Amino acid sequence: MATTLAFDVYGTLIDTHGVSLALQGMVGTRAAEFSRHWRDKQLEYSFRRGLMQHYASFATCTRDALEYTCESLGLPLDVEQRQLLLDAYRTLPAFDDVKRGLENSRAAGFRMFAFSNGAADAVDTLLETAGIRGFFDDVVSCDEVKSFKPNPGVYAHFLRRAATPGASAWLVSSNPFDVIGAMSAGMRAAWVRRSPQAVFDPWGIAPSVTVAELTTLAAAIGVAD
For a pLDDT cut of 70, what percent of the chain falls above it? 99
Given a cut of 90, is residue 223 above it in pLDDT?
no
Q: Could you give the 3-state DSSP secondary structure of residue 122?
A: helix
Contact (Cβ atoms closer than 8 angstroms) between residue 176 and residue 191: yes
Kind plus residue range of the DSSP H or E element containing 37: helix 31-52
Q: How confident is the model at residue 147 (pLDDT cuts 50, 70, 90)?
A: very high
pLDDT at residue 224 in the model: 73
How far is the C-alpha of 92 from the C-alpha of 77, rounded, in Å?
Answer: 20
Given a cut of 80, is residue 13 above it in pLDDT?
yes
At residue 119, what is the residue type? A
Adjacency order of strands within the sheet including 4-7: 138-141, 111-116, 4-7, 169-173, 188-192, 209-211
Report the pLDDT averaged over residues 122-143: 97
pLDDT at residue 20 in the model: 87
Strand partners, 171: 6, 189
How far is the C-alpha of 82 from the C-alpha of 19, rounded, in Å?
Answer: 11
Report the pLDDT averaged over residues 17-33: 91
Q: What is the pLDDT of residues 68-83, one digit of tens each?
A: 999 999 999 999 999 9
For a pLDDT cut of 90, what percent of the chain falls above it? 93
How far is the C-alpha of 163 from the C-alpha of 57, rounded, in Å?
Answer: 25
Q: Which of 8, 15, 97, 143 is catalytic?
A: 8
Contacts of residue 157, defined as CB under 8 A and 6 or more positions apart, other chains included, come to: 140, 142, 144, 145
Q: Which has the closest alpha carbon to 198: 170, 176, 220, 221?
A: 176
Average pLDDT over the chain reads 95
pLDDT at residue 194 in the model: 94
Report the pLDDT averaged over residues 148-168: 96
Q: How confident is the model at residue 139 (pLDDT cuts 50, 70, 90)?
A: very high
How far is the C-alpha of 173 from the C-alpha of 221, rounded, in Å?
Answer: 13
Active site residue 121: no
Q: Which domains does the chain have, with CATH numbers?
A: 4-14+93-224 (3.40.50.1000), 17-89 (1.10.150.240)
At residue 145, what is the residue type? V
How far is the C-alpha of 41 from the C-alpha of 36, rounded, in Å?
Answer: 9
Q: How far is CA 58 from CA 28, 96, 98, 174, 185, in A?
A: 27, 25, 23, 18, 22
Given a cut of 80, is residue 225 above it in pLDDT?
no
Q: How confident is the model at residue 2 (pLDDT cuts 50, 70, 90)?
A: confident
pTM across the whole model:
0.94
Q: What is the pLDDT of residues 183-214, one digit of tens each?
A: 999 999 999 999 999 999 999 999 999 999 99
